[in-house]
Chains A and B, each alone.
Chain A
Amino acid sequence: MTTTSSEQHAVPFWRDERYLQVLAQILVVAIIAGTLYYLANNLVTALAAQNIPIGFDFLRLTAGFDIGESSIAYSRASTNAQALLVGVLNTLRVSFLGIIFSTILGAIVGVARLSNNWLVNKLAGIYVEILRNIPLLVFLIFLYSAAFVKLPRITEALELPGPIYLTNRGFFVPWAEPGDGWSTYRWVLWVGLLVAIVVAWVLRRQGQRTGRMPLILLWAPLAFVVVALLGWFIVPGQPLVSSIPVLEGRNFTGGNGLTPEFMAVLLGLVVYTSAFIAEVVRAGIQAVSKGQREAATALGLSGFQTLRLVILPQAQRVIIPPLTSQYLNLTKNSSLAVAAGYPDVYAIGRTIQNQSGRSIEIIALMMIVYLAFSLGTSLFMNWYNKRIRLVER
Chain B
Amino acid sequence: MTTSASSRSDVLPPPSERYTLLGWFRKNLFGSWLDALLTLIALAFAVAILVPTVRWATTSARWEVIPNNVELFMFGSYPRDQVWRLWLCLWLLALVTGMLWGVYVRRRSFMSLFLIALPVLGMLFTFASGVWVHYAAMIVAGLAGWALARWRPRLMSSVALVGTLLFFPLVILIIRGFSEESFLPGVATNLWGGLMLSLLISVVGIVFSFPFGVLLALGRQSNLPAVRTLSILYIEIIRGVPLITLLFMGQVMLNFFLPSGIVVDRVIRAMVAVVMFAAAYLAENVRGGLQAIPKGQYEAADAVGLSGFHKMTFIILPQALRAVIPVLVGQFIGLFKDTTLVALVGLLDLLGIARGVLANPAWIGTQLEVYLFLAFIYWIFSYAMSYASRRLEVALGVGER
Residues of A at the B interface (CB closer than 8 Å) are 21, 24-25, 28-29, 32, 39, 42-43, 45-47, 49, 115-120, 123, 129-130, 132-139, 141-142, 145-146, 150, 332-333, 335-336, 338-339, 346, 350, 353, 359-360, 363, 366-367, 370-371, 374-375
Cβ contacts B101-139/A at 8 Å (1 or 0 each): 000000000000000000000000000000000000000
Q: Are B340 and A332 touching (Cβ within 8 A)?
A: no
Q: Are B383 and A129 touching (Cβ within 8 A)?
A: yes
Q: Are A366 and B237 touching (Cβ within 8 A)?
A: no
25 intermolecular pairs with C-beta atoms under 8 Å apart: A24-B224, A28-B226, A28-B230, A29-B230, A42-B256, A45-B260, A117-B29, A119-B46, A123-B42, A123-B45, A134-B382, A135-B338, A135-B340, A137-B344, A138-B374, A142-B372, A145-B358, A332-B242, A332-B243, A336-B244, A336-B341, A359-B249, A363-B245, A371-B237, A374-B241
User: Which of B42, B45, B257, B260 is most buried by chain A, counting CB atoms within 10 A of its CB?
Assistant: B42
Residue of chain A at shortest CB distance from B228: A25
Q: Is B264 an interface residue (CB 8 A)?
A: no
Q: Is B164 an interface residue (CB 8 A)?
A: no
Chain B contacts with A in 19-42, Cβ cutoff 8 A: 28-29, 31, 35, 38-39, 42
A123 to B42, CA, bound (A): 8
Contact of A42 among B237, B259, B386 (CB under 8 A): B259
A138 to B368, CA, bound (A): 11
Distance in angstroms from B167 CB to nearest chain A CB is: 24
Q: Is B343 an interface residue (CB 8 A)?
A: yes
Q: Is B378 an interface residue (CB 8 A)?
A: yes
Tally chain B residues at the interface, Cβ within 8 Å. 54
A378 to B111, CA, bound (A): 45
Q: Which residues of A contact B39 (CB under 8 A)?
A: 117, 119-120
Q: Are B241 and A370 touching (Cβ within 8 A)?
A: yes
Q: Which residues of A contact B230 (CB under 8 A)?
A: 28-29, 32
Residues of B at the A interface (CB closer than 8 Å) are 28-29, 31, 35, 38-39, 42-43, 45-46, 223-227, 230, 237, 239-245, 248-249, 252-253, 255-260, 333, 337-338, 340-341, 343-344, 351, 358, 367-368, 371-372, 374-375, 378-379, 382-383, 386
Q: Which residues of B contact A45 (CB under 8 A)?
A: 260
Contact of A370 among B225, B242, B337 (CB under 8 A): B242
Q: Are A138 and B248 touching (Cβ within 8 A)?
A: no
Q: Are B225 and A117 touching (Cβ within 8 A)?
A: no
Q: Are B226 and A141 touching (Cβ within 8 A)?
A: no
With A117-B42, A123-B46 known, 12 other A-B pairs at CB within 8 A are A21-B224, A25-B227, A28-B224, A119-B28, A119-B29, A119-B43, A123-B42, A133-B383, A363-B253, A366-B245, A367-B237, A374-B239
Q: Are B257 and A134 touching (Cβ within 8 A)?
A: no
Q: Are B340 and A138 touching (Cβ within 8 A)?
A: yes
The binding surface of chain A is classed by DSSP as helix
Q: Are B252 and A359 touching (Cβ within 8 A)?
A: yes
Residue of chain A at shortest CB distance from B39: A119
Residue of chain B at shortest CB distance from A378: B240
Q: Which residues of A contact B223 (CB under 8 A)?
A: 21
Residue of chain A at shortest CB distance from B372: A142
Contact of B341 among A25, A28, A137 (CB under 8 A): A137
Residue of chain B at shortest CB distance from A346: B244
Q: Are B244 and A142 touching (Cβ within 8 A)?
A: no
A119 to B386, CA, bound (A): 24
Q: Contacts A42-B258, A134-B375 given; indicate if A118 touches B340 (C-beta within 8 A).
A: no
Distance in angstroms from B102 CB to nearest chain A CB is: 27
Q: Which residues of A contact B35 (CB under 8 A)?
A: 116-117
Q: Are B240 and A338 touching (Cβ within 8 A)?
A: no
Q: Which residues of B contact A374 (CB under 8 A)?
A: 239-241
Q: Are A338 and B244 touching (Cβ within 8 A)?
A: yes
Contact of B42 among A120, A129, A332, A366 (CB under 8 A): A120
Q: Are A338 and B340 touching (Cβ within 8 A)?
A: no
A169 to B367, CA, bound (A): 18
Q: Which residues of B contact A120 (CB under 8 A)?
A: 38-39, 42
A119 to B50, CA, bound (A): 15
Residue of chain B at shortest CB distance from A372: B240
Distance in angstroms from A272 CB to nearest chain B CB is: 11
Contact of A332 among B225, B241, B382 (CB under 8 A): B241
Q: Which residues of B contact A371 (CB under 8 A)?
A: 237, 240-241
Contact of A138 among B243, B259, B375 (CB under 8 A): B375
Q: Which residues of B contact A43 (CB under 8 A)?
A: 253, 256-257
Residue of chain B at shortest CB distance from A339: B344
Contact of A116 among B31, B259, B372, B378 (CB under 8 A): B31
Q: Which residues of A contact B257 (CB under 8 A)?
A: 39, 42-43
Residue of chain B at shortest CB distance from A26: B226
In the A-B complex, list the 9 residue pairs whose CB atoms are closest, starting with the nearest.
A133-B382, A118-B28, A135-B337, A146-B367, A142-B371, A25-B226, A332-B242, A335-B242, A374-B240
Q: Which residues of B contact A118 (CB under 8 A)?
A: 28-29
Distance in angstroms from A121 CB to nearest chain B CB is: 9
A43 to B341, CA, bound (A): 26
Q: Which residues of A contact B249 (CB under 8 A)?
A: 359, 363
Q: Which residues of B contact A39 (CB under 8 A)?
A: 257
A225 to B168, CA, bound (A): 62
Q: Which residues of A contact B372 (CB under 8 A)?
A: 142
A345 to B266, CA, bound (A): 23
Q: Which residues of B contact A119 (CB under 8 A)?
A: 28-29, 38-39, 42-43, 46
Q: Which residues of B contact A24 (CB under 8 A)?
A: 224, 227
Q: Contacts A117-B35, A363-B253 given; indicate if A145 touches B371 (C-beta within 8 A).
A: yes
Distance in angstroms from A7 CB to nearest chain B CB is: 25
